[in-house]
Structure 1
Amino acid sequence: MTKLRGRRATAIVAIATSVALAATACATDAGAEGDDRISVAMMQPPKASMNPFSDDAFKLSRWSVGETLVQLNDELGIDPMLATDWEQVDDLTWTFELREDVVFHDGTAMDAEAVVNTLDRAAAYSPPPRVLNGITIDAEATGEYEVTITTDSLDALLPNRLASPQLSILAASAYLDDGSVTPVGTATGPFVLTDFSSTEATLDRFDDYWGEPAAIAGIDAYFVPDGTARAGSLRAGEVDLAESIPVSQVELLDPAMVNEVLQPRTTFLTLNSASGPFTDPAVRAAARDAIDTDSIVEGVYEGYADPAVGLMGPAIPWAAELRGDVESGIEPAAIEGTPITLATYTDRAELPEIAVRLEQQLEDAGFDVTQDVREYVNIEADLLAGSFDAAIVSRNSLLDMGDPLSFMAQDFTCDGGFNISQLCDPAVDALVDTALGLPIGEERQEATMAVEAAIMQLDVVVPLVHDRVVQGEANTYVDILRDPIERRLITVETHPA
């Protein structure tokens, strides 16, 4: 029987750069409740009307609106949040003890029944939250403030799943009769989402928060998918904080505004292995051989990235040492005018620039390339449906569960929830299934890198660069988080400089 408490939980990996804080002012200022409101330029608009079962959940987490039973700490171990204690009873069963003083934003109390309602709704949702792919959970209230969760198979990382913002606990009023889910006035965090549209969101301090109250009165968030516009709004003093500044704009900012965050994020080219010309491994090999990653690092990122060798970059410190043979050995086909569609999205400003360079490199190799570039919200469904021959994608390998193996299970297995390459390879699936059953530690790390090698040898993905993301800050506020796994940004401690 395994008992886990707070920071005693073992970390999955120690990432190279832990969560950093903006330069901190006098500590006594942070505890005071003020009337100030921070303005933030967010990179992407809501994808699914702020449905917490979608990737929109990460916005709610970064704004400190949604909260989960447990949370990842700076070392990627598990800390308490809405649950204070938890125990693994047997291979399939866990119990969680809940806080008894939590009030939802709609004024109702959080208890075991409310938690079970959220987990049941998540498990039954179609499509389910990505973090639940590959597992079935059953939740039961076994006390007023105790929840027992049973899984259909051994899952060493159930607490990591429950730490995903996609499983934020919401009040019963969040789940509407038409099947939609709204976090407006229904979550538990120190800020309450009061209104949002496709262009902005308004959040106010929640005065009945169970923890320390927020130091600021609220957040005014603006969705600005154009990276140049985000940087411009920061330079003009229109916002206090801007996500993901394009490298082309960095030199235009005051150096004091530039904060480089080393993230476990890789930009890669996926090749559709289920339909079109890239079903042929030799054609995939020809595309692989055509690509020059060094020119992308220097020409597009101006040095703010590292050439990618595999799917795991330098932010995961054990990856390079444990990396296996990632070379496919497949003989490239001779390409003579093979037409392909190359897709990407504009939300990350570098991706369309990469598309231009890849088009040239692929055409030099004999392909006839047609680009399809849109905002992410307008292209995600087609990406997941396999509508393109190739796609340039940027992924944080620790975003979903703080576990790079889980990222590969999502992106490169038959039942993966984010499988843009459409890969369905029994050998890869078998490796993933075996690895997922391993406990946290060196053996799991070795198995993770074996999975990476197996995927790479199929040439369904060509890693391009490991990103270093620039977060822009006007230095009007301090205690803003610079989070490598992109779950936290504004907290109760964020306050004016």
Structure 2
Amino acid sequence: MHPPVPRRALGATVLSAALVLTGGCFSGSAGGAADSERLSVAMLNPPRSALNPFSDDAFKLSRLGIAETLVQLDEAGDPLPMLATEWRQTADDTWEFDIRREVTFHDGTTLDARVVADALTAATEARPKPRILDGVEWDVRAEGDDQVVITTNFTDPLTPHRLSSPQLSILSPDAYQGDGNTVDPTGHGSGPFELVTLNGSDSAALDRFEGYWNGTAAAPGIDVSFVPDGAARTAALRTGEADIVEAIPPSQAALLDEGTFREVPMPRTNTLYLNTREDGASGVFADPAMRAAVRAAVDAEPLVESVYESRADLADGLLGPALPWSDQRPERGEGPEPADPDGARITLATFTDRAELPEVAATLEQQLEAAGFEVEQEIREYAQIESDALNGEFDLFILSRATVLDSGDPVAYMVSDFSCDGGFNISGLCDTEVDDLLSAAEQEGDPDARRTATLEAERAILETDAAIPLLHERVIQGDAPGTEGALFDPRERLLVGLETHRSTD
């Protein structure tokens, strides 16, 4: 059972916001406060689904302080109360959550158990489902006004962790429209900032929500513009146009003054996915020996030293130094002998939103062609390439992938990316041993045993050569002089807290 957390202690960890350059200038104030008091934040990716929480846009709802979940995670990845104050497992397949009272949504609706049950049910019925629910079936019901009961289709000790995913944010009933796949967070969140305006993929404006249940934010509002170009984001920090800048490219960090950015290993791995489908793309990598030929050809060390300017860590597995226990991984089998590529024609794809990835693709193309492949590159913005990658249109795909983003636990990521029924299975891998090991890891409740099971599943995945981890990225966040109280979250869920503000001294 988990007691409620103190009012200000919780609020200091749940706010977030962002502003990004558009056409060389920042969005204007949407509220009545002076522009000089509002926060401007430069963010990496524009919204892809109009901030629908069932998509990856959910993490912008979290970082912008618009919407909240039942559970949040502490720095170690353990669950803490948010919109739920306590929870308990009453049977192998049943969990009860007590819902926080006196929470008001931005549209004036009051939070209760029915609102929560309906929101979570909408998530389970969405198509596609939020990836945090890959392989999971939930029955969600309200018990009175204050309690929600979740019944799972298997013994799932990760249930509270899953409820921390921003993809399971709780919005007011009016947010859910039409067939349930359309969700509009504008004016329907419960967080400290209300989304007032979303201007497509260009900008957004947020105002402080004076009725926030956990206190009052120091900043009167946030102006957001979305700029994929890393040099533009960095320039905004150097010129003082942005107070907070996320995802500073490693190549740009050297241009910044000391003390204006922070860097730390993050649970994000740059991985080369190989399409194992017989009917996918060229079908070349349905052959394990051809996948082994790619593994033998790829050398990630030049990527770390040159492309990332040594601001990354060479990968030995899917999980990296942000998870200290990952270095306890078991020894990996040697796998099949590499085949002779013999001029096999393959397509290598990635996206432009992360500035380093096209450079990674260029280096890998050289390495693969030196090994005997003929390589054609396909590079687009992520929003225009994701569906083709998931549909198996490419032989190889380079992805910068967060490994604990959804639940704070890497098992959900592995199930999503590498199980037969995974919703983000770019490689199309379907392997009985992998599925069995992932299932065992999912059901393990003891933390140490779960980590051991997770590393066994990682070993089995790597032995298929369906994914070749290249490097582990570091998060580099810029804070302009005079910006105080900005949050620094390697899991990329939080950015602006209740105390974050622009100093007037």
Smaller-chain TM-score range? over 0.9
CA contact (8 A) 1:123 1:136 kept: yes
1:438 lines up with 2:440 in the alignment: no
Deviation of the 1:256 alpha carbon: 2.1
Assess if the C-alpha contact under 8 Å between 1:289 and 1:332 holds in 2.
Answer: yes
Summarize deviations over 1:306-352 as a string: whole Å, max 9, x none: 111111111111111x2112344310011121111111111111111
1:72-221 to structure 2, matched below 5 A, reads: 72-177=73-178, 179=180, 180-196=182-198, 197-221=200-224
Give, in whole Å, the separation in 1 of the partners of 2:354 and 2:67. 25
CA-CA distance at 1:261 after TM superposition: 2.5
Deviation at 1:404, TM superposition (A): 1.2
Matched, 1:474 2:461: no
The 1-side partners of 2:364 and 2:123 are apart by 39
What is the distance in 2 between the residues matched to 1:5 and 1:77? 14
Structure 1 vs Structure 2: percent identity of aligned residues? 51
- The structure-2 alpha-carbon separation of the partners of 1:207 and 1:231, relative to structure 1 and needing over 3 Å to count, comes to same
Deviations 1:240-290 (CA, angstroms, capped at 9, x unpaired): 111111111111112222210320111010100013101111111111111
Q: Secondary structure at the match of 1:482?
A: coil
Matched, 1:267 2:258: no
Q: Secondary structure at the match of 1:265?
A: strand
Check if 1:344 corresponds to 2:347: no
2:405 paired with 1:403: no
User: Displacement, 1:49?
Assistant: 1.3
Aligned counterparts of 1:172 and 1:162: Cα–Cα separation in 2: 18
> C-alpha distance in 2, partners of 1:277/1:253?
44
Aligned residue number for residue 400 of structure 2? 394
Deviation, structure 1 residue 5: 4.2
Find out whether 1:372 has 2:399 as its counterpart: no
Cα deviation, 1:442-470, whole Å, max 9, x if unaligned, reads 11111100001101111111110111121
- Aligned residue in 1 for 2:387: 381
Deviation sequence 1:212-235 (CA, Å, 0-9, x none): 111111111111011111112222
Correspondence 1:299 to 2:299:
no
Question: Does residue 225 of the first structure (1) align with residue 228 of the second (2)?
Answer: yes
**Structure 1 residues 6 and 447: alpha-carbon distance in aligned structure 2, compared to 1, 3 A threshold:** farther
> Hey, what's the Cα distance between the residues in 1 that align with 2:414 and 2:202?
32
Q: Which amino acid aligns with 2:205?
A: T
2:322 aligned residue (282, 292, 315): 315
RMSD: 1.7
- SS state at 1:452 partner: helix
Determine whether 1:285 maps to 2:292: yes
Alpha-carbon separation, structure 1, partners of 2:135 and 2:334:
28
Pairwise CA distance, 1:399: 0.2
Q: TM-score, normalised by structure 2?
A: 0.91
Separation of aligned partners in 2, 1:299 and 1:177: 49
1:305–1:466 Cα contact (<8 Å) kept:
yes
Paired amino acid for 2:60: K
Amino acid paired to 2:228:
P
1:418 aligned onto 2:447: no
Contact 2:2 2:85 in 1 (8 A): no
Segments of 5+ residues of structure 2 without an aligned counterpart are: 6-12, 17-32
Q: C-alpha distance in 2, partners of 1:356/1:383?
A: 18
Displacement of 1:371 after TM fit? 0.7
Contact 1:242–1:472 under 8 Å retained in 2: yes
Superposition deviation, residue 82 in structure 1: 0.7
Partners of 2:136 and 2:152 within 8 A in 1: yes
Contact 1:93 1:151 in 2 (8 A): yes
Q: Secondary structure at the match of 2:499?
A: coil
1:257 partnered with 2:231: no
Change (3 A) 1:443 1:346: same
Structure 1 CA distance, aligned partners of 2:94 and 2:119?
18
Distance 2:374 2:441 in 1: 39
State the partner residue of 2:49.
Answer: 48
SS in 1 for 2:348: strand
Q: How many residues align?
A: 472
Check whether the contact 1:261–1:471 (CA below 8 A) recurs between aligned residues: no
In structure 2, C-alpha distance between the alignment counterparts of 1:137 and 1:206, rounded to whole Å? 32
Shift of 1:485: 0.7
Cα deviation 1:8-37 (Å, max 9, x = unaligned)? xxxxxxxxxx99x9xxxxxxxxxxxx8621
